[in-house]
């Protein structure tokens, strides 16, 4: 299944929130993304049905292995692209916002080139 940008954003958000060490609920995702609870519940249902997220009896959200793979890929892209843009002189707030837009559409080859260049710049 090919996820749309919104699905990738939900998975990335669940990853980010889960790294804080507390159980993640739909309401946490709604607050983080500034979306309505019904919108998040609908999206979580779609992601669950597609096999990217599980929801236990207490409403805890967890990424499945395939969901985690996608979330980690998107999050890596977000952090690397943000760093790259900051290194190019973009202010951090704008860099974060732009990275969020680019991370879903950039090709693997372009991303790998940026990733390589970002690492080179950090060593200088």
88 and 49 share a domain? Answer: no
| pLDDT, tens digit, 9 for 90 and up, residues 72-84 | 999 999 999 999 9
Domain interval for residue 14: 5-69
12 and 57 share a domain? Answer: yes
Taking CA atoms, 10 is separated from 26, 60, 64, in Å, by 10, 14, 13
Give me the number of domains the chain comprises: 2
* Predicted TM-score of the model (pTM): 0.88
| pLDDT, tens digit, 9 for 90 and up, residues 19-76 | 999 999 999 999 999 999 999 999 999 999 999 999 999 999 999 999 999 999 999 9
16 and 60 share a domain? Answer: yes
Encode 39-105 in three state secondary structure: HHHHHHHHHHHCCCEEECCCCCEEECHHHHHHHHHHHHHHHHHHHHHHHCCCCHHHHHHHHHHHCCC
10 and 49 share a domain? Answer: yes
13 and 36 share a domain? Answer: yes
């Amino acid at each position: 299944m090919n996820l749309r940008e919104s699905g990738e954003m939900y998975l990335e958000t669940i990853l980010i929130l889960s790294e804080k060490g507390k159980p993640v609920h739909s309401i946490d995702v709604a607050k983080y993304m500034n979306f309505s609870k019904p919108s998040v519940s609908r999206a979580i249902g779609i992601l669950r049905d597609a096999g990217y997220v599980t929801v236990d009896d207490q409403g805890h959200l967890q990424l499945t292995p395939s969901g985690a793979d996608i979330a980690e890929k998107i999050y890596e892209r977000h952090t690397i692209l943000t760093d790259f843009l900051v290194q190019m002189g973009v202010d951090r707030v704008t860099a974060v916002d732009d990275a969020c837009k680019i991370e879903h559409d950039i090709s693997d080859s372009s991303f790998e080139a940026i990733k390589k260049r970002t690492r080179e710049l950090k060593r200088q």
